[in-house]
Amino acid sequence: MHLGSTLLDLIYPRSCTVCGSETGAGQGYICWDCLAGFDVISRPFCSVCGDPVEGMVEHEYRCSHCQKSRTAFDMARSAVRYRGSVCAILQSLKYSKQTFLVPDLLPFLSGCVSTHYSKVFFDGVVFVPLYPRKERERTFNQARLLARALARAMDLPFLPNCLERTRYTVTQTDLDAAHRRANVRGAFAPLNRKWLDGRTLLLVDDVMTTGATVDECAKVLKEAGAAGVFVVTVARG
């Protein structure tokens, strides 16, 4: 398979999904220049939700939201900021069905988990589900694809039947924080409660903005008996 892929790369060179330039054999679908534009998240950031903060902070920091309210998830971390070429890549994945981008994004997800959750033992990997009708229209769920690839890369059980979306919700893109929370409230339900009891789960999504969606998922999983829910996303808006 590797030889066949190499031959195809020579005959039909891969091009960057962002800028269109050739990426080189075996490199993937994001060129080095566009990869260099990824703004990798580093300290300082909120110790709970991982929201980056500008400036110098030499002590453990909590953002104003995490100071005012308790999150259902134990911790959330994202690999890169949702800006520049990352926006184009994730939008291509989600809206243009460019699912071949998943392997290019996987190192950022796995690196984020290894960096921030090295001391956490996970019983399995779950993801933010789409409403069934929406998933049929899109033909896939990008969070599911990312979670499955991450579980395989980290040799963890992939758990596709632990959480479901029970009602349709409008897109969160144009909503403020309060309306985002209201939009997803009661939109999820647990599956296989007996298996969830006492488990520590890694919850995967593509982008985290206010955290309303992943927090609602974590709330449902914990109410069903999960001992811990840790969030990882490719990008942070």
Structure tokens at 184: 């997803």
* CATH 3.40.50.2020 is held by the domain 37-236: yes
* Residues 95-144: tens digit of each pLDDT: 999 999 999 999 999 999 999 999 999 999 999 999 999 999 999 999 99
Chain centroid to CA 33: 23
For residue 214, give every residue at least 6 positions away whose Cβ sits within 8 Å of its Cβ, in sequence order, or none.
73, 76, 128, 203, 205, 208, 231, 233
Closest by CA position to 101, among listed 138, 136, 146: 146
* Residues 11-47: tens digit of each pLDDT: 667 899 999 998 876 679 999 999 999 999 999 999 9
Report d(CA 196, CA 152) in Å as an integer.
20
Q: Where are the domains of the chain?
A: 37-236
**Which residue type does 10 have?**
L
pLDDT category, 10, cuts 50, 70, 90? low
E-strand ranges in 136-225 read 163-165, 188-190, 200-208
